[in-house]
């Protein structure tokens, strides 16, 4: 059994304009110690899906299951979710300032986090642990900087603080939602390195949300490609890059610079409205391969090759013959 098993997750929001179907039947597994990357353009439902799993989506209609270590997170009561969040499931977001309180010293915030979940630990021990964590994520002079405020850290260093806080209780799963998007490339690489090092050290599973396939190439074991709230393709990392099947995956790859200076080909057009989705393939309006059959919704089906490789597209299902892009 996988550490996290999400099945047929559906999330919708009632709005004055109609029902926004943000996540439409999402299923995936996260294995202990492995990294699952969730990729897709803005608005594809990456954040809504993971926030729903951790009980952070307000005012939504939710169905499906998300078993984490035997507990269904979708039906779990708020107290159970609060206990799991932080202790068992750590979270980091794109903007650390939205998660770190600006008026409290970072060390104090980590200490409070630790003490909220571990009632047996004393203040001094928690403070020592906080300093250790800050040094573990590569903050120079951690013992002194523990008394600094969030704004006294650079963007990259703040993201390291967030990682320290998320890892403070040695969670089994870390959910990182665009953790490096706001950072420049060099700092991004450093922060990803920190995550990878901690993962090796502690055996943490990671769900890494990103729209950057470069980050996927660096980090992922398996990849879920989302579009308009649904999975378009799912596969081990190598297959996504070298034996991909779905035209949307190919479109994302074509918009990734292989070498700096290469010309990019962004996917033309925009995603469909999540209020009035087309009946057939959601990608049809932008797909250069579209044909008659695409007016019916393509199911997520095995494409041959690796049994973990699936695609929701009507094109022939032999990835060996698929155009490598
Ligand atoms: N509370 C809400 N009410 C109505 N619609 C919402 C709400 N929250 C999210 N949505 C919509 O759900 C869709 C999915 O949003 P989500 O934030 O998950 O996208 P995302 O893939 O994380 O995008 P990004 O890469 O920009 O972070 C979007 O169309 C968004 O507008
Ligand atoms: S099902 Fe049709 S429209 Fe959709 S991605 Fe495949 S070929 Fe393109
Ligand atoms: Mg998001």
Q: Whole-model pTM?
A: 0.94
Q: What is the pLDDT of residues 135-178, one digit of tens each?
A: 999 999 999 999 999 999 998 999 999 999 999 999 999 999 99
Q: Whose CA is nearest to atom 1 of ligand 2?
A: 313
pLDDT, tens only, 98-116? 788 999 999 999 999 999 9
Rounded Cα distance, 258 and 260, in Å: 7
- Ligand 1 contacts (CB < 6 A) are 13, 15, 20, 22, 40, 42-48, 211, 274
Q: Whose CA is nearest to atom 31 of ligand 1?
A: 43
pLDDT at 259: 55
Check residue 255 and give its pLDDT.
84
Helix runs in 100-169, H state only: 106-117, 123-136, 142-145, 155-167
Distance 47 CA to ligand 1 centre (A): 7
Domain ranges of the chain: 4-224, 228-324
Residue 121 in contact with ligand 2 by CB distance below 6 A: no
Rg (CA), the chain: 21
Please give the Cα distance from 21 to 108 (Å, whole number): 40
| End-to-end alpha carbon distance in the chain | 34
For 249, list phi and psi in degrees, rounded to 5. Answer: -60, -45
Close Cβ partners of 246 (under 8 Å, ≥ 6 residues apart): 225, 232, 233, 283, 311, 312, 313
Residue 93 confidence class, pLDDT cut points 50, 70, 90: confident
Look at 321 and 143; give whichever has higher pLDDT: 143
pLDDT for 324 beyond 50: no
The reported pLDDT for the residue numbered 256 is: 75
Instruction: Copy the structure tokens of residue 66.
Output: 């998300």
Chain centroid offset of residue 60 CA = 20
pLDDT band at 198 (very low <50, low <70, confident <90, very high): very high
- Is the pLDDT at 181 greater than 80, yes or no? yes
What per-residue confidence (pLDDT) applies to 172?
Answer: 97
Q: Where residue 73 falls among pLDDT bands split at 50, 70, 90?
A: very high
d(CA 140, CA 143): 9
Residue 40 CA to ligand 3 center (angstroms) comes to 9
CA of 316 to the centre of ligand 3 (A): 32
Q: Out of 11, 18, 45, give the residue to mutate to test ligand 1, the one with the largest number of ligand atoms within 8 Å of its CB.
A: 45
When pLDDT is averaged across residues 198-223 and rounded to a whole number, the result is 95
Smallest-distance ligand from the CA of 38: 1
Q: Which CATH architecture has domain 4-224?
A: 3-Layer(aba) Sandwich (3.40)
Work out the pLDDT band at 322, boundaries 50, 70, 90.
Answer: very low
What does the pLDDT average to over 274-284?
97
282 lines ligand 2 (CB under 6 A): no
Given the DSSP bridges, would you call strands 222-227 and 35-39 parallel, antiparallel or unpaired?
parallel
Ligand 2 proximity of 300 Cβ (cutoff 6 Å): no
């Amino acid at each position: 059994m996988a550490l996290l098993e999400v099945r047929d997750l559906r999330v919708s929001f009632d709005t004055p304009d109609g029902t926004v179907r943000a996540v439409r039947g999402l299923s995936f597994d996260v294995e202990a110690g492995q990294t699952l990357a969730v990729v897709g353009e803005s608005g594809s439902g990456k954040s809504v899906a993971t926030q729903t799993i951790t009980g952070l989506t307000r005012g939504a209609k939710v169905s499906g299951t998300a078993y984490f270590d035997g507990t269904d997170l979708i039906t779990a009561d708020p107290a159970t979710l609060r206990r799991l969040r932080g202790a068992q499931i750590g979270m980091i977001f794109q903007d650390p300032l939205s998660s770190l309180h600006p008026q409290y010293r970072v060390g104090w915030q980590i200490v409070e986090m630790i003490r909220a979940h571990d009632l047996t630990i004393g203040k001094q021990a928690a403070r020592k642990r906080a300093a250790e964590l800050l040094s573990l994520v590569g903050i120079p002079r951690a013992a002194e900087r523990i008394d600094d405020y969030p704004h006294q850290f650079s963007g990259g260093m703040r993201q390291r603080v967030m990682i320290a806080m998320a890892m403070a209780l040695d969670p089994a799963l870390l959910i990182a939602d665009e953790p490096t998007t706001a950072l420049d490339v060099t700092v991004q690489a450093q922060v990803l390195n920190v995550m990878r090092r901690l993962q090796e050290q502690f055996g943490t599973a990671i769900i890494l949300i990103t729209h950057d396939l470069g980050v996927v190439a660096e980090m992922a074991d398996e990849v879920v490609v989302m579009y308009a709230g649904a999975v378009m393709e799912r596969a081990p990392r190598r297959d996504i890059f070298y034996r991909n099947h779905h035209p949307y995956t190919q479109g994302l790859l074509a918009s990734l610079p292989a070498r700096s200076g290469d010309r990019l080909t962004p996917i033309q057009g925009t995603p469909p409205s999540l209020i009035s989705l087309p009946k057939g393939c959601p990608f049809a309006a932008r797909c250069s391969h579209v044909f008659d059959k695409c007016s019916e919704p393509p199911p997520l089906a095995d494409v041959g090759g690796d049994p973990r490789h699936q695609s929701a597209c009507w094109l022939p299902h032999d990835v060996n013959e698929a155009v490598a892009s």
